[in-house]
Structure 1
Amino acid sequence: MRLSSFVRLLPWLLPVSAAVAQTKPVTSAAPLGALTVEKIMRDPAQWLGTSPGSVAWSEDGKRIYFTWNPEKARRDSLYVVAPTGGTPRKVSLTEQRALPATTGEYDRPYARKVYEKNGDIFLLDLKTGRPCRLTNTADRETDPAFALQGQLISYTRANNLYTWNPGTGETVQRTDFRRGTRPAGTQPTDQSEKFLRAQQLALFEVIRHKEQDARARAQAQKALARLGPKPIYLGTKTVESIQLSPDGRYVTYRLVQEPATEKKAIVPNFVTASGFTEDISTRNKVGAPQTAYELGLYDIGRDTTFSLGYQDLKGLDEQPAYRKEYQLRPTAPAPADSVKKASAAAKGKPATELRRVVPYGPFWSTDGQRAFLVVRSADNKDRWLVSFDPATQKIGLLDRQHDDAWINGPGIGYDQGNVGWMPDSRQVWFQSEETGYSHLYAVDVTTGRKKALTSGNFEIQKAQLSRDKKTWFLTANASHPGEQHFYHMRLDGGPLIQITSRVGGNEVTVSPDEKTLAVRYSSATKPWELYVLDNKVNGTGRPMRQLTHSTTPEFESYPWREPEIITIKARDGADVYARLYRPANAAAQGPAVIFVHGAGYLQNAHKWWSQYSREYMFNNLLVEKGYTVLDIDYRGSSGYGRAVRTGIYRAMGGKDLTDHVDGAKLLVDKYGVSPQRIGLYGGSYGGFITLMAMFTQPDVFRAGAALRSVTDWAHYNHGYTDNILNEPYNDSLAYVRSSPIYYADGLKGALLMCHGMVDTNVHFQDIVRLSQRLIELHKENWELAVYPVEDHGFVEPSSWTDEYKRILKLFETNLKPPAGAAGSSGN
């Protein structure tokens, strides 16, 4: 499941002239010594240190801003440092209020930037560094952009589009969207009322005069009134993504129809300031009615609105391949306002129901002459790039990516993905998994010719064009699946030229003049720090200049183990990557633990600092105690292309679980581990795999700790689950084969389950239902530990400590022989 990563995007980025102040170095009184759960589960800010994050350059390139916490405060703060070095200093709140937002839009010459800050719109002169405030209202203005080739600034307020003219200062409302339906007219519609009205006008002169006066007043008021935009009535829909075409002739927008009824799951919160139980409304469950979307177009010149149709999209009438297993008829008709029926019936052919779609865009070329849309099927099995002509409301196919499983991958995601125009305004660039790995492509909108700009058995994880539109700046794992480097490439493709050189993870933010790189770098044993590097092609191997030092002497005093990256040959022949931790003097037939990372689509067998830092340290503790530890990037993990990503389609707990069983076999066959002393643990998706392992592979795994686990996928959210298992009422077989609750009768070993009671992601109800199932099955060798104040991601050190002391006790009790028994390692 996707575990959301919340990144603070604070408003900043103007030059800071104040002198760099000294920051107190992070100190610690004593070395770490032997590891204990109490030591490693403390607040990381208090003893490990907090790495810099949310890196951004000032607009003049003279400062680098980032969030940091060397003071060991409860929250990170904004810091600034010069790229030439020096001691980072904390940015005051007064300074922060003067900084522009990191996000925004630049004009074509990169002379101005328009952005939103605290609900108001600002225009920044990049040469002088002076911002101009365009709005100062109680309403919130958003989505600022340059319009009419930079002549106007557009933005939205109260779901309507406005423009501001820098030359005249005039603000113009461009749309008039209104909730509800158009008011009925004043003329009677009933036949009886029409007769009475006509009779009154024929009989009484005074009534005729009053009618004439009223018509004259209305005509005079209309002539004097300012000509405003056409009222567009939305009914029960809402509007979003409003934008003005470059020539000012059209307004495009997306209409959103929420389901008429939507039942939300409730999570009770028991430990509250009020002393009363408080309910948290969270989300619906997979298969619930979903939001419908359509693209609207307002032709200003013709004062007319249109809704775009998609009936000619190739493959839109195709039903998902999995339905053949059920021999089902096509799904029920989709709402007419979302996707219209094909015109086949009018041509004498049976009508076919079309799948719902979600439109994104339009995306306009630099010269403003062409536009394209990204259209995705609501079931996420198709993604189309189409040309778009607002004058005719016609679309033309540029590219179709289809997947019988679901569309995703780096630069693709679940929305429009990473797309844009090449500088010639004829070609559209985008990313696709067409070859099995996410790569960069360009397609000519006039000829339809498509070209692959990158290729190979690796992923393009991030792509952007240089400001002069001559060079690609790419982040990829081309050298090794577990390494992340920054590359240059020619506009038209060609070899990737590696710029970063240190083995590990390199997260790069390019300076405004594109001469310098701010690099957040880490290795497997060292957390992220901030560096700078010259953005030069012929300089691979140059040392990076370190700007921050975040870790404490206490953390640094321990010899953290660098895991060995190995491959496991899975039963179907696939190479599965994993991290291996081994004791220096491993005992023959010793114990082993497999850590199962969460999120499903996530990579952890890599060469940089793991986001599972506590688990990494706990794995070191286990090695101290004589355990061999394996950490597998099982099927479904990221970093390895489409086949691995979709390896769990319709069978979670299938290949992802057998990868762990194959890993356990490798531990026995190659590393001398006892087949009777293997356990596993993991949280979220890792907890789900742990449950499936304990229930369906009881002879392989003797003990397992399942943390914040999904126990029944029919109770998880729609956005994640529907892609992998489809809807429960359409693909019940996938849910039965994938949900641990159906296999609970297979439990033999020792099972520990831990769950936060205010988990708004995987609800506490999930583990309660499984507990009742275990009770009814008369299972005894299990326990449930609950954490009353914890959400999905634990926060409190006391909760982390309690949880991992229980996990350690589980393994020590069940995976090691009794003290003094033959073969005991003595740990």
Structure 2
Amino acid sequence: MFLNKISPAFLLLLLTLSVGTAQAQEAQTPLSVEKIMRNPTWMGTSPSNIAWSEDGRKVYFNWNPDANRKDSLYSVLADGKNIRKVSPQERRNLPTGTGSYNRARTKRVYEKNGDIFLLDIKSGKVQQVTNTVEREINPSFTFDEQKVAFLKDNNLYTWSLNGGQLMQRTDFRKGKKPADAESKDPQKKWLREQQLELFDIIKERDADKKAAEKQQKADNLTRPKEIYIEEKLVDNVVLSPDEQFVTFRLIKRPADAKGTMVPAFVTASGYTEELNVRTKVGDAQTDTEFFVYDTRRDTTFAVLMNNIAGIEEQPAYLKDQKSKATATKAGAEKSDKKNLRATAIYGPFWSDNGKSAVVVARSADNKDRWILALDPASGKMSLLDRQHDDAWIGGPGIGYGAGDIGWLPDNEHIWFVSEESGYAHLYKCHAKTGEKRALTSGKFEVYNVALSADKKNWYFTSNKVHPGEQHFYRMSLQGGEMVQLTTQAGAHEVVLSPDEKTLAVRYSYTNKPWELYLMDNKKGARMRQVTNSLTDEFKAYNWRDPEVITFKARDGADVHARVYKPTTVQVNGPAVIFVHGAGYLQNAHKWWSSYFREYMFHNFLVDQGYTVLDIDYRGSAGYGRDVRTGIYQFMGGKDLSDHVDGARHLAEKYQVDPKRIGIYGGSYGGFITLMAMFTEPDVFAAGAALRSVTDWAHYNHGYTSNILNTPQTDSLAYAKSSPIYYADGLRGALLMCHGMVDTNVHFQDIVRLSQRLIELGKDNWELAVYPVEDHGFTEPASWTDEYKRIYKLFEQHLKP
């Protein structure tokens, strides 16, 4: 009756309003798992791999604004104008990033597609140095800058810029030296001596051969010395500035090391195919030796770590073990080398004047890092700095290998990064006396340290402002004020222009993915945005800016976390704790997370009434040495208790029902989830463990031995840290998800745990397998299926 009295004009107004409301609702379409887990191009693709052109006129970057199958190469002028896709011809002509400059930075030598090229930067002229089927790599200028040195088949060559003469500088050969086999065989030695005694012609030819060899040496016509390396591998071949010495390493792989097989069931061939991948922790490891080849003396000799402080010290954990028999047995493993600990030597790193060299040595157990002055003529080394950690050596700029190290322009001091103070900081050290001084200090870390082109300033990134922010700094050569160049909260990945006047910055914030910016190299300069990558669909949702908080752990430590809160607080509501992977990684920060799918899933969970907590637990990056090594000899100790304390914090501050808390994570996060469900069943009602380590004795050596030592020398640490030993404690609901072609955490891990749960009679768990997925999933269908299961788990067990 009422509708009959409405005018046509009013009906039109109602229709217009309803259409507008529908359009607004469409723009704010609620999140769903299916939407979040699609191909990430639906969000827009951030720029990556930022690099300046050699002349500084352009910035190149990978980008995909058209949502194609793959990113393309783009360029923008240095003033931020004229973004365009790089043509295939221009892309093919660009020099690659693998190369080096002369001191004046007027020439650059680089490797591309296995050949060597020389670029004149001012003219842009490119000269191809090699054009061979074999691959030439690692090009660099010699000290006099008259030649280019490079490697081919692991042998060192030099090519003259004037005349183009090619000279082979080393001759590494597989197998044993032929004479060695004969001289060590009594029968062959006797026969040779008999021949020389019986036949004059044999004696004459032998004398002629020796005379010819002597004449060759006198005429300087000798080829490089034949260096027989048996079945070892050669690497790290370095020519000294005066070209007299060649240093190199020989690596012996253990013959009895057993790789692990990962079967792939869904294959193009239709047959099951096996991937032969890594060994397990504690298996025999490679043995490394460091040598000097003296070309003038035509001799080769090994550089040894004898008499270096700490080289014979057993690790503290072996000393502390109660069983002397266990300690004696473990120590006896290296008895054939007079109790010298196995080491690997990196370098040498030569001073700019070519007169001094240092090397970095690391113990195989990774508890010591030595910086040593090297005399290549004698092979003797002297200690400049020893960095020791009863847990393991690590941290930004230290990591694995040599770490960040170089020479100051006075040619008397070296610089390096060390955690001596408890945080990764920059140090200088006199290369003869070992006198050392910190150039930065404080409860923060420095990253990506580099000297300016004029060597008057340092440039580096630091989290000085806040552990969850990363800014770019400039500092004078001798230390002092750290001048903060970037200002916006978040993270800044900076690439300096060749003239160092402009910064190309990849910047992001918590809820804003990475974009490319340009700014002047001045304090307080404004960043000018270059790219706009986000789609309208992505921008239509109001992505949350989670609060970065700290709470106190039970031992008094500050734990950093991100909390996502529902708009309307629900008393005694449900909560989910997310556990990031990798262990040594940071996620409670103020920049766009590498866990972007999980970030979006957390927004979705909050929409459904959940509170979400994302913790940087003990072992995480960004907080210094004590946090980094807080998991030593006990993974599932403080890293797990931090999550239990986080659950308590949720209940106390955010009105969460302590009986309705779930937990999930992948890789290391999956491991913590298992430990939580097995050892803290009263805290966590449900958990989803994704691609999780279930037994650390089955993980790799490089990562695991740092934290738990080896199973045969520290079996208690492995038993304490492995979820499979605690499976009987499961009471809540457990979901496990694993890729069947996981070459990192093998599918075998979850199969072994499943059998353990079956034998224990547990029935409150399920396993979802993904036949074509490796450790990091790639298929949207797999991501969608996995997270629908996770959401279903939480809905069933955390909601009333």
Give the TM-score range, shorter chain: over 0.9
Q: CA deviation at 1:392?
A: 1.9
User: Counterpart of 1:167 in 2: which secondary structure?
Assistant: coil
TM-score by length of structure 1 reads 0.90
Q: CA deviation at 1:295?
A: 0.9
Report Cα offsets for 1:741-780 as digits up to 9, x if no partner: 0000000000000000000000000000000000000001
For the Cα contact (< 8 Å) 2:334–2:340, is it kept in 1?
A: no
Does the CA-based 8 Å contact 2:262-2:277 persist in structure 1?
yes
Q: Secondary structure at the match of 2:578?
A: strand
Asked if 1 retains the 8 angstrom alpha-carbon contact of 2:196 and 2:202, the reply is no
Cα deviation for residue 217 of structure 1 reads: 7.5
Q: How does 1:471-490 map onto structure 2 within 5 Å?
A: 471-490=457-476
1:557 aligns with: 540
Instruction: Give the C-alpha shift of residue 90 in structure 1.
Output: 1.8
Structure 1 position 41 matched with structure 2 position 37: yes
SS at match of 1:331: helix
Q: Residue by residue, what CA displacement relative to the aligned partner does 1:659-678 show, whole Å, maximum 9, x if unpaired?
A: 00000001111111001100
Alignment of 1:146-185 (within 5 A): 146-184=141-179
**Inter-CA distance 299–747: structure 2 relative to 1 (3 Å threshold):** same
Does the 8 A contact of 1:482 with 1:605 survive in 2? yes
Q: Report the counterpart of residue 307 of structure 2 in structure 1.
A: 312
**How many angstroms apart in 2 are the aligned matches of 1:29 and 1:215?**
98
In 1, Cα distance between equivalents of 2:155 and 2:196: 41
Greater alpha carbon shift after TM alignment, 166-175 vs 610-619: 166-175
Counterparts of 1:677-696 in structure 2, within 5 Å, are: 677-696=660-679
Query: What secondary structure is seen at the aligned counterpart in 1 of 2:664?
Result: strand
Taking the aligned partners of 2:451 and 2:559, their CA distance within structure 1 comes to 33
Deviating more after overlay: 75-84 vs 662-671 = 75-84
Distance in 2 (CA, whole Å) between partners of 1:503 and 1:766 is 41
User: Contact 1:79–1:91 at 8 Å: present in 2 too?
Assistant: yes
CA apart distance, 1:196: 5.3
Amino acid of the structure 2 residue aligned with 1:316? I
The 3-state SS of whatever aligns with 1:761 is coil
Are residue 31 (structure 1) and residue 27 (structure 2) matched? yes
Mapping 1:240-259, distance limit 5 Å = 240-259=235-254
Aligned residue type for 1:443: C
Please say if residues 311 and 340 of structure 1, whose CA atoms lie closer than 8 Å, have aligned partners that are also in contact: no
Q: Partner amino acid for 1:212?
A: E
- 1:177–1:231 contact (8 Å) kept in structure 2: yes
- Matched residue type, 1:142: I
Q: Deviations over 1:499-537 (max 9, x none)?
A: 001110111011100000000000000100000010113
Match of 2:425 in 1: 439
Conserved 8 A contact 1:319-1:330: no
**Structure 2 Cα separation of the partners of residues 316 and 565 of structure 1:** 44
TM-score, structure 2 length as denominator? 0.93
Q: Distance in 2 between matches of 1:575 and 1:68?
A: 39
1:92 to 87, 94, 101: 87
| Shift in Å, 1:236 | 2.1
Of the three residues 380, 387, 411, the one matched with 1:425 is: 411
Code of the aligned partner of 2:38: R
Equivalent residue, structure 1, for 2:382: 396
Kindly tell me: are residues 332 and 319 of structure 1, through their superposed partners in 2, closer, same or farther at Cα, counting changes over 3 Å? closer
Asked whether the equivalents of residues 490 and 507 of structure 2 are also in contact (C-alpha less than 8 Å), the reply is yes
Aligned to 1:95, the other structure's residue is in SS state: helix
Report whether the alignment pairs 1:368 with 2:354: yes
Count of residues in Structure 1 that have an aligned counterpart in Structure 2? 767
String of CA shifts for 1:595-634, please: whole Å, max 9, x gaps.
Answer: 1111100000000001100000000000000001000000
Matches within 5 A, 1:90-169: 90-169=85-164
Distance 1:594 1:194, change over 3 A: closer
Q: Which residue of 2 aligns with 1:197?
A: 195
8 Å CA contact 1:334, 1:354 repeated in 2 = no
- CA separation of 1:166/1:30 partners in 2, compared to 1, >3 Å: closer, same or farther? farther
Superposed counterparts of 1:418-817, under 5 Å: 418-537=404-523, 540=524, 542-817=525-800
**Cα RMSD after superposing both structures:** 1.9
Q: Secondary structure at the match of 2:772?
A: coil
- 1:655-701 alpha-carbon deviations (Å, 9 max, x no partner): 00000000000111111100110001100000000000000000000
Once residues 162 and 298 of structure 1 are traced to their aligned partners in structure 2, the CA distance between those partners, rounded to angstroms, is: 14
Write the distance in 2 (CA, Å) between the matches of 1:402 and 1:420.
Answer: 20
Greater per-residue helix proportion: 2
1:199–1:229 distance in 2 versus 1, CA, 3 Å = closer
1 CA distance for matches of 2:746 and 2:539?
38
The answer on whether the counterparts of 2:708 and 2:714 sit within 8 Å (CA) in structure 1 is yes
Of 69, 76, 80, the match for 1:81: 76
Q: Take 1:435 and 1:169, find their aligned partners in 2: how far apart are those partners?
A: 51
Identical amino acids, percent of aligned pairs? 60
Deviations along 1:225-246, one digit per CA (max 9) or x if unpaired, are 9420111111121111111100
Q: Quick one: distance in 1 between partners of 2:201 and 2:450?
A: 70
SS in 2 for 1:527: strand
- Aligned mates of 2:541, 2:604 — CA distance in 1: 11
Contact 1:296-1:307 at 8 Å conserved across structures = yes
Give the match's secondary structure for 2:151: strand
How far 1:167 moved relative to its partner? 1.2
Q: CA deviation at 1:811?
A: 0.4
* 2:369 aligned residue: 383
Q: Is the 8 A contact 1:286 1:727 kept in 2?
A: yes
Is residue 40–residue 614 contact of structure 1 (8 Å, CA) maintained in 2?
yes
Distance in structure 2 (CA, Å) of the matches to 1:774 and 1:551 = 45
Contact 1:710 1:762 in 2 (8 A): yes
How far does the alpha carbon of each residue in 1:471-491 deviate from its partner, in whole angstroms, 9 at most, with x for none? 001100000000000011010
Q: Please give the per-residue CA displacement for 1:173-232, whole angstroms capped at 9, x wherever unaligned.
A: 11111111111388996486468536743xxxxxx3576367548856985794201111
- Whether the 8 Å contact between 1:360 and 1:415 is mirrored in structure 2 is yes
CA distance in 2, matches of 1:193, 1:382: 51
Residue identity matched to 2:343: V
Letter in 1 for 2:487: S
Corresponding letter in the other structure for 1:111: T
* Counterpart for residue 204 of structure 2: 212
Q: Is the 8 A contact 1:270 1:278 kept in 2?
A: yes
**CA distance in structure 1 between the partners assigned to 2:381 and 2:430 by the alignment:** 15
Please state whether the residue corresponding to 2:754 is helix, strand or coil.
helix
> Counterpart of 1:408?
394
Q: Is the 8 A contact 2:239 2:247 kept in 1?
A: yes
Q: Which residue of 2 aligns with 1:15?
A: none
**How does 1:249-288 map onto structure 2 within 5 Å?**
249-288=244-283
Tell me the residue number matched to 1:14: none
Equivalent position to 1:358, from 319, 340, 344 = 344
Q: Quick one: structure 1 residues 192 and 411, their matched pair in 2 at CA, closer, same or farther if it must change by over 3 Å?
A: closer
SS of the residue aligned with 1:121? Answer: strand
> Which residue of 1 is the match for residue 288 of structure 2?
293
Quick one: distance in 2 between partners of 1:560 and 1:220? Answer: 81
When residues 213 and 305 of structure 1 are mapped into structure 2, their CA distance, relative to the original with a 3 A threshold, is closer
Equivalent AA in structure 2 for residue 675 of structure 1: P
Give distance in 1, aligned partners of 2:468 and 2:39. Answer: 28
Equivalent position amino acid for 1:753 in 2: M
- Given that 2:373 and 2:432 are in contact with CA atoms closer than 8 Å, whether structure 1 keeps it comes out as no
Q: Distance in 1 between matches of 2:467 and 2:118?
A: 42
Please state how far the C-alpha of 1:335 moved relative to its aligned partner.
6.7
Closer, same or farther in 2 for the Cα pair 1:316/1:222, shift >3 Å? closer
CA distance in 2, matches of 1:29, 1:145: 60
1:117-152 CA-to-partner distances (Å, cap 9, x unmatched) read: 111111111111212111111111111111133122
Distance 1:667 1:599 in 2: 24
Deviations 1:88-126 (A, max 9, x none): 222232222111012311111111111111111111111
The residue identity in structure 2 corresponding to 1:278 is E
